[in-house]
Amino acid sequence: MRKSDTIATDILLALLLLTRLPLPGLPQSAFVRQARAVWAFPVAGVLLGGVATGAAGLALIWWPPTVAAGLAIALQVLMTGALHEDGLADTADGFWGGFDRDRRLEIMKDSQIGTYGVLSLVLSVGLRWSLLAALLSVGAIWAPVALAVLSRATMPVLMIVLPHARADGLSKSVGKPAPQRVCLGLLLALGMSLGAVGWPALVMAAVLCPLCFGIGWLARAKIGGQTGDVLGTTQQISEIFAALVLLACL
């Protein structure tokens, strides 16, 4: 396979994994590269954040920032199929609804949502909505790109520093990526976020590093490792904290 074909395959794999967009399929043999494709997670973030930025920019022509931010977030949720929000809700229910590791994992696998899950979604959507509205009101139109890119670059970090908490599931099927692939994704995310919002991206990245490891510590303490739900939770919390830092810097 040519290098250009490999890059295109990795990007498509990342999009197939992280979005629900109508994309061309890949042969089954290509999915053995899923762990190698984690470097492209920020590329998927560029697409998601770019579409959200475009939608927000158009909406601002007619409506206030609050409406534009709500539409941008709704569009991102549609494009991802609420993948990360679902992970956040499952993690909240499991981590605080179970009294031991096995029960927590059992709750996280249950399709029903509990009180902790509902509260986590309300807080996540509410904070992201209000923060994006505030960012748009001060002219940070490219903020969705930086937030989407950096928050998706954090997920592979937990994939290499934590073991799998269960023998099946989405994260297990992807596998454990090589550290150099994760580092490439982090560098890409930093470069793209710098292009989107400038120097505040450096502060955002600096804050996300300890945050990511804090989430990892909690996941190890609660369930002994990471799952796809934990990775989704990492994305959501990273996006919120990145937005808080960006708004503070502007």
| Domains held by the chain: number | 1
Are the C-beta atoms of 149 and 57 separated by less than 8 Å? no
The answer to the question of residue 230 being in a domain is yes
**Mean of pLDDT values over 229-242:** 98
Q: How confident is the model at residue 4 (pLDDT cuts 50, 70, 90)?
A: low
- Sign, CA dihedral 94-98-99-103, equals negative
Residue 34 is assigned to a structural domain of this protein: no
Q: Examine residue 30 and state whether it is found in any structural domain, yes or no.
A: no
Mind listing the pLDDT tens digit for each residue in 23-51? 888 877 677 888 899 999 999 999 999 99
Looking at the domain assignment, is residue 70 inside a domain? Answer: yes
Question: 3 is written with which tokens?
Answer: 């290098």
Distance CA 192, CA 43 (A): 9
Q: Is residue 21 situated within a structural domain?
A: no
Q: Is residue 105 part of a domain?
A: yes
Domain annotation covers residue 234: yes
Q: Are 14 and 35 in contact (CB under 8 A)?
A: no
Domain membership of residue 156 as a residue range: 42-249
Query: Which residue's structure tokens are 């492209």?
Result: 40
**pLDDT exceeds 70 at position 3:** no
Q: Is residue 12 one of the residues assigned to a domain?
A: no
Does the pTM exceed 0.85?
yes
Q: What is the model's pLDDT at position 174?
A: 83
Helices 115-137 and 228-249, interaxial angle, to 10°?
30
Burial (CB < 10 A; 0-12, 13-18, 19+), residue 67, is: middle
